């Protein structure tokens, strides 16, 4: 069994009294999700999440303490993938998508984001992030 590890973030911003999440539409697969990518040698989870969000969206983020969620799945036979997600507030808001991997980006209110994401794991992440933000 081959093991892969990626890290990413649920990036949010406050827009008036609303909280919005940044969703990216993956060029390959066409599904809405969150920025993430493979851990490179010598990186820790935080460094990977910061780098991947910057690469895929151009955003600088501030990772929130107390939110670290792991998702595991099997993208191919004999491959187990672990993705560690953090919750992060956007420091900048001007999105510049990585055209090779990301076909679209959008800021969506939490309930809208919940309806837009494709996978159940992502829906669960949104609910956990919402609970964390409401504390």
Tens-digit pLDDT profile for residues 61-109: 999 999 999 999 998 899 999 999 999 999 987 899 888 889 999 999 9
Q: Give 71's strand partners.
A: 83
Which CATH class, in words, describes the domain spanning 2-134? alpha beta
User: Rounded to whole angstroms, what are the CA distances from 60 to 25, 57, 111?
Assistant: 19, 9, 24
Phi then psi dihedrals of residue 16, to 5 deg: 70, -130
In tens, the pLDDT along 5-25 reads: 999 999 999 988 899 999 999
The pLDDT value recorded for residue 99 is: 87
* Residue 116 CB neighbours (<10 A): 18
Distance CA 47, CA 42 (A): 9
Stretch (H or E) spanning 112: helix 110-116
Domain boundaries, given as residue ranges, for the chain: 2-134
The pLDDT value recorded for residue 13 is: 97
The pLDDT value recorded for residue 97 is: 87
């Amino acid at each position: 069994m081959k093991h892969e590890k990626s890290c990413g973030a649920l990036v949010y911003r406050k827009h008036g009294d609303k909280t919005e999440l940044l969703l990216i539409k993956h060029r390959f697969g066409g599904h809405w999700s969150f920025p993430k990518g493979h851990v490179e040698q010598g990186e820790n989870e935080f460094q990977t999440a910061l780098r991947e969000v910057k690469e895929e969206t151009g955003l600088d983020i501030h990772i929130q303490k107390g939110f670290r969620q792991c998702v595991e799945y099997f993208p191919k036979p004999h491959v187990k993938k672990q993705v560690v997600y953090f919750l992060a507030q956007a420091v900048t808001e001007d999105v510049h998508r990585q055209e090779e991997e990301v076909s679209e980006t959008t800021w969506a209110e939490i309930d809208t984001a919940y309806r837009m994401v494709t996978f159940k794991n992502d829906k669960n992440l949104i609910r956990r992030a919402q609970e964390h933000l409401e504390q």
